[in-house]
Amino acid sequence: YTKASSSTSTSVTKIVATIRLLNSKGTVVKTKTDTIKPINGISKISDSKKLTSRGSYYVKTTLKVYKGTTLVETITSKSKTESY
């Protein structure tokens, strides 16, 4: 789970989200990119990954916020690290 906030107004037309699951060494375990449309200021994207190795993992998210075809903001966030 990760959360990101935008300072951009509600005129956002689409968000391109890139979500990366990384292990404690910073190695990317899985990447998902999807285009989502905001609904009432809230957007959700989900996926799953069966982990084959015990360890610590975290999620890095990059959101590219568009108004029409113009990129108006790029937001990055990182989740807390969780152990498996």
Residues 11-57 pLDDT 10s:
788 889 999 999 999 999 999 999 987 766 666 677 788 888 899 99
- pLDDT of 8 > 70? The answer is no
Look at residue 80 and give its three-state secondary structure. Answer: coil
- pLDDT of 61 > 80? The answer is yes
The more confident residue out of 64 and 43 is 64
Look at residue 40 and give its three-state secondary structure. Answer: coil
The mean pLDDT value for 50-68 works out to 91
Look at residue 9 and give its three-state secondary structure. Answer: coil
The mean pLDDT value for 57-84 works out to 92
